[in-house]
Amino acid sequence: MTSSPDFTALLREAALRVTRPRVAVLEAVHAHPHADTDSIYRAARIELPEVSLQAVYDVLSALTEVGLVRRIQPQGHLARYEARVGDNHHHAVCRACGTIGDVDCAVGETPCLTASDSHGFILDEAEVIYWGLCPTCAASRPPESTP
């Protein structure tokens, strides 16, 4: 069984001052992977009822800037946040309900960073999004009939 992260230590290691809003937001992101800002706000308010929505936005920005959380924004969706950082994983997004799941790289640690043509860029990250239907939405669809 894995233990929960020490949020205070994570903030200190990232050279961020430890505040109650930062701890509450970091805890919410860890507890709710791929959550949008409003969901994180609602979760943080359980631990810290006085936290404001603006404070949550500010904290998410600070946490993203130092690499404690990752911000993703699939096309047509609100920005989402996750605590899985430091690897080059990708995401699968359900077209019907918007559920997001993590997808590890198919081969090696960063195979997507070997671009066919980098155009002179020094590449350090690749973002791949797979689109489809999650198992729940796929199961609820009527079978397609063939002519």
- What count of residues does the chain have? 147
Predicted confidence (pLDDT) per residue in 87-100, tens digit: 878 899 999 999 99
Provide the pLDDT confidence category of residue 145 given band limits of 50, 70 and 90.
Answer: low
Predicted confidence (pLDDT) per residue in 98-124, tens digit: 999 998 876 655 556 677 787 888 877
Kindly report the number of other CB atoms within 10 A of residue 72's CB atom.
16
Better-predicted residue by pLDDT, 1 or 40: 40
Entry pTM: 0.82
49 vs 95: CA distance, rounded Å:
34
Phi–psi pair at 82, nearest 5 degrees: -145, 155
